[in-house]
Amino acid sequence: MIITKLLEDNLKLQTLSKLQFAKDINIGLSSTPKKLSSKYFYDTRGSQIFQEITKLDEYYLTRAELEILERIKNILPDLVGKNEVDIVELGVGDGHKTKIIINSFLDKKIKVNFFPIDISAEAMHLLEDHISESKNLNIHAVVGEYIEGMNFAREHSKNRQIVLFLGSNIGNFNKTDGENILKKIKSILKKDDFLLIGFDLKKDIEFMTRAYSDHEGITAKFNLNILERINTELRGNFEVENFEHLALYNPELGAMESYLISLKDQIVTISELKKKFKFDAYEPIHLEYSFKFLEKDIQDLSIQGGFKCIGNFKDGNKYFIDSLWQV
């Protein structure tokens, strides 16, 4: 076991997040229109299904970003120029991208303290399959939300930090929330720390739509799993086959949006909330925004966040950018 789980802190965070889950589901399903946050996709099964998504032909995002990381992996150790570094990753998932970055430091005999942060405890198990043991690598896993995880890492971190925010996770936030989280990230960092952040670029609409609505139905299974999660954790009685996944591009917002559509009039009981929720036929539940970007949006965001943009790195198809920023 290579991961030092800081159990006491993690358990506290997990108890809080269970209460928050119940509260957010109640608020979301009581709203008009109904909505659920995409951060709740990732229970054990959700994190596993996301791994399947990353291997789909249609899901170009992962392949594009892996290509970029392979190309730029040696830039970071040279830029950091120290013999020890603290890598903090927001929403690490299974860590198969991170492995490339961590190994580039280890190969140059630079000691790495890695702080993977993820709202999903399952991500930390998946991580163990991808990050191998090394005497120069310490891992402090944090199961929690981005900012609370960063605060935790700050308390335990003594070296220059590189924060990884990959997978275009920033695209799940609208413009205002995106700017706010970037400002928060910056406020936790110190002078000369780095942020490597992934952005999915605007491109052919059908091509993007296929990535969120694949022909095998894996994305549909992933999105519908949020109802299964409510059934399991909050004793709900959603009949999942009475809902359908829908993904479409909203050109005004510049975002892919995902919905679940109720296929009939129905009433769902969530026992833990002691509440019934009524769904009309064809009523949507909004699940996810995945905002898409132009290169100039990235420049603007770095300035608004208070960072200096060191460089934008694209894949050969120009589908995706990893942008390197410095405080």
CB 251 within 8 A of CB 205: yes
Q: For residue 221, state whether it binds ligand SAM (rule: CB under 6 A).
A: no
- Which of 94, 193 has the CB closer to ligand SAM? 94
Least Å distance, CB 201 to ligand SAM, is 15
The one among 21, 50, 212, 291 contacting ligand SAM by CB under 6 A? 50
Place of tokens 């589908």: 319
Stretch that binds ligand SAM, among 9-17, 47-55, 76-84, 174-182 (CB under 6 A): 47-55
Least Å distance, CB 176 to ligand SAM, is 16
Q: For residue 167, state whether it binds ligand SAM (rule: CB under 6 A).
A: yes
Q: What are phi and psi of 254, to 5 degrees?
A: 75, 40
Question: Site for ligand SAM (CB under 6 A): how many residues?
Answer: 20
Stretch that binds ligand SAM, among 87-95, 210-218, 249-257, 303-311 (CB under 6 A): 87-95
CB 66 within 8 A of CB 100: yes
The one among 43, 58, 86, 118 contacting ligand SAM by CB under 6 A? 118
Q: For residue 307, state whether it binds ligand SAM (rule: CB under 6 A).
A: no
Least Å distance, CB 171 to ligand SAM, is 9
Q: For residue 288, state whether it binds ligand SAM (rule: CB under 6 A).
A: no
Q: For residue 160, state whether it binds ligand SAM (rule: CB under 6 A).
A: no
Q: b or e along 293-309 (b: 16 or more beta carbons within 10 Å of the residue's beta carbon)?
A: beeebbeebbeebebeb
Least Å distance, CB 80 to ligand SAM, is 21
Q: For residue 119, state whether it binds ligand SAM (rule: CB under 6 A).
A: yes
CA dihedral 307, 311, 312, 314 (to 10 degrees): -150
CB 231 within 8 A of CB 241: no
d(CA 255, CA 251): 7
Which segments within the chain are labelled E, that is strand?
3-5, 34-35, 84-90, 111-118, 137-143, 161-165, 194-200, 243-250, 255-262, 266-270, 275-279, 284-291, 308-314, 320-326
- Which of 34, 97 has the CB closer to ligand SAM? 97
Token pair of 125, please? 């198990």
Q: For residue 178, state whether it binds ligand SAM (rule: CB under 6 A).
A: no
d(CA 97, CA 93): 9
d(CA 317, CA 122): 32
- Which of 39, 262 has the CB closer to ligand SAM? 39
Least Å distance, CB 243 to ligand SAM, is 21
Binding site for ligand SAM (CB under 6 A): 39, 42, 47, 50, 54, 62, 91-93, 97, 117-120, 123, 145-146, 166-167, 169
